[in-house]
Amino acid sequence: MVSKTKRALALVLTAMMAASALAGCSGGGSNGGNQNSSAGSTGGDATTSGGAASNVESVADIESSGVQETIRGLIADEAKNNGGKIELKLWCSGDDGPFEKTLVKKFEEEYSTDGVTVDVKVKTSYGEDAAGGKVLESPKEAADVFNMADDQITQLVEAGAIAEIASTFQANVVKNNSADSIDACSVNGKAYAFPKTSDNGYFMYYDKRVYKSEDEVKCLDDMIKKANEAGKSVYLNITGPWYMTGFFFTAGCEITYDPAANNGKGKQTATFNTPEGLKAAKAICHIAESKDAGFVGSPSTLTDNAYVQQGFKKGELAAAVIGTWAGPMIKEAIGEENVGAAKLPTVLMDGKQEQLHSFGGYKVIGVNSNCKYPVTAQMLAYYLTNKDSQIARYNERGLIPTNNEAVADDKVKNDPALKAINDQLDYAHPQGKSVGGDYWSVKPETIGNEALDKSGKLTDDEINGILNDIVTQLDSKQ
């Protein structure tokens, strides 16, 4: 006989998944304006079932046998409508593809039981930087489950293209992951994505054979001088907008994105054409003066990852500003014992040494609101981001977890990259709160390209002309 607790839990989960299914139907069949409206009403339903879920939170652990039994039953119900087979599409980056496929295979084996076949097709066509945009282009044709950077969540919610995490899953995700990662995944207090890694930011990796102590990696000018003396270079991609923007944050420029402005079309602002913007650009020019003399500011024809890997392997780099994904290849190139990590150094700005700021954020997994199999899709997203998967991803890919227990793992907590991320946190600006798609399209990195081309020899008038052009382009898109 089924216990009262299991009956209550089954009712909660069923109501929860029914709300998700309704969200998928309402979100997929209307235009942008109506989608916003339906997303709001669905949120109300989900909140109601969320309240019910909180009443059984003590027994609603997703990993428990009782909840798993209920979820398997709901998955079986979904499969009945397709001859016992569930077919899902998953998007992830090319770098992540091989590892994610190993997790997907385990998921398929675990949930293909009792006459149910789960088949997940993994596609690496769209990485975290592009997935959200591709979903927005054609939600019904997009992947059911997709990896993305957290800055894409708000636009997906506004368009009704991403499903709110169902209540019992949401309770577990909130409980198990860091508060910052949950905040990054949430809109108006409701979580719409499963946090996966805390690596969507950058800091400084360095060779401890060149820099003997942490004091030697505190000032970028000093680092460049020491690298040059050793016949090596410091790498910071000032022709990449993601990295270059940190200088403008440091100077006090405001870079914001309001998704509700312009009748829901969104509004991007960046106060670059200001005295603060000029200070930031001149600081970029200052380090560009050291081009080929201890500083490299562009990967040339290579990607960042390839350049950093090659640079350390060939002994050409002493340090590089990049993220955790580069950790394993740097360790392989120079030996784990020689790898150090620290927050970003100070930069010379308006005659003073100022702590360099950065973007900070998370890589997350979302579920398409048009998904035909919402229970299975949310279970897959949860499975790919649970504690065991996050630890396995760290061991295989070097990506820092968001799961509280995973971060407490001995190997993870002793990784210098984790300390570097935490030390940089006070100077990291949430990407999801700062930028929308228009920011990247106006090419803010133009200032970095010009600075490198002329080895930093730009006049104030030339700089102001470039900054005015960036802001004018942004204004024209509003």
- Kindly state whether residue 418 falls inside one of the protein's structural domains: no
Same domain, yes or no: 390 and 313: no
- Examine residue 17 and state whether it is found in any structural domain, yes or no: yes
What confidence tens digit (pLDDT) does each residue in 359-408 have? Answer: 998 999 999 999 999 999 999 999 999 999 999 999 999 999 999 999 99
Check whether residue 172 and residue 320 sit in a common domain. no
**414 lies in a domain?**
no
pLDDT of residue 13: 52
Of 408, 436, 465, which residue sits at a domain end?
Answer: 408
Better pLDDT: 230 or 18: 230
For the segment 271-286, what is each residue's pLDDT rounded down to a tens digit? 999 999 999 999 999 9
Domain count, the chain: 2
Kindly tell me the sign of the dihedral angle through the C-alpha atoms of 435, 437, 438, 443.
positive
Give the relative orientation of helices 387-397 and 97-111 as an angle to the nearest 10 degrees.
Answer: 150
Name, in order, each residue with C-beta under 8 angstroms of 175's C-beta and a sequence gap of 6 or more. Answer: none
- Asked whether residue 48 is domain-assigned, the answer is yes
Q: Which residues pair with 255 in a beta bridge?
A: 270
Q: Are residues 399 and 266 in the same domain?
A: no
- 28 Cβ contact partners less than 8 Å away, ≥ 6 residues apart: 139, 140, 160, 369, 370
Q: Flag whether 323 is in a domain.
A: yes
| pLDDT-derived band at 350, boundaries 50, 70, 90 | very high
Instruction: For the chain, state the CA radius of gyration.
Output: 24
Give the N- to C-terminal CA distance of the chain in Å, as an integer. 61
- Per the model's pLDDT, the better-predicted residue between 227 and 151 turns out to be 227
Same domain (yes/no): 77, 94: yes
pLDDT at 190: 93
**Model confidence at 431, in pLDDT bands (50, 70, 90)?**
confident
The whole-angstrom separation of Cα 81 and Cα 107 is 21
Residues 59 and 15 in one domain: yes
Backbone angles phi, psi at 373, to 5 degrees: -125, 75
Residue type, 248: F
Of the listed ranges 15-29, 134-148, 364-378, the least confidently predicted one is 15-29
pLDDT value of position 54: 34
Q: Which of the residue ranges 118-132, 251-265, 300-314 would you say has the lowest mean pLDDT?
A: 251-265
> Bigger pLDDT: 7 or 409?
409
Q: Give the percent of the chain with pLDDT over 90.
A: 75
Are residues 194 and 54 part of one domain? yes
Answer yes or no: is pLDDT of 121 > 50. yes
Residue 118 has pLDDT above 70, yes or no: yes
Tokens of 187: 């809109």
| Claim to verify: residue 343 and residue 387 sit in the same structural domain | no
Q: Are 290 and 228 in contact (CB under 8 A)?
A: yes
Q: Domain range holding 18?
A: 4-198+362-408
Environment class of 114 (CB within 10 Å of its CB; exposed 0-12, middle 13-18, buried 19+): exposed
Q: pTM above 0.85?
A: no
Q: How far is CA 13 from CA 22, 40, 198, 260, in A?
A: 14, 21, 29, 32
Contact indicator for 445, 410 with CB cutoff of 8 Å: no
Averaged pLDDT, 235-244: 96
Q: How do beta strands 233-235 and 317-322 pair?
A: parallel
CATH number of the domain enclosing 212: 3.40.190.10
Q: Are residues 263 and 221 in the same domain?
A: yes
Asked whether residue 419 is assigned to any structural domain, the reply reads: no
- 369 assigned to some structural domain: yes
Contact 377, 74 (CB under 8 A): no
175 with 290, same domain? Answer: no
Mark whether 95 and 235 lie in a shared domain: no
267: pLDDT strictly greater than 70: yes
| 367 and 458, same domain (yes or no) | no
pLDDT of residue 11: 42
CA distance 111 to 109: 6
Q: Is residue 420 part of a domain?
A: no
Judge if 367 and 456 occupy the same domain: no
Which residue, of 350, 377, 408, is where some domain finishes?
408
Q: Are 256 and 269 in contact (CB under 8 A)?
A: yes
Q: What are phi and psi of 271, to 5 degrees?
A: -85, 65
Average pLDDT over residues 150-170: 93
pLDDT tens-digit profile of 292-322?
Answer: 999 999 998 899 999 999 999 999 999 999 9
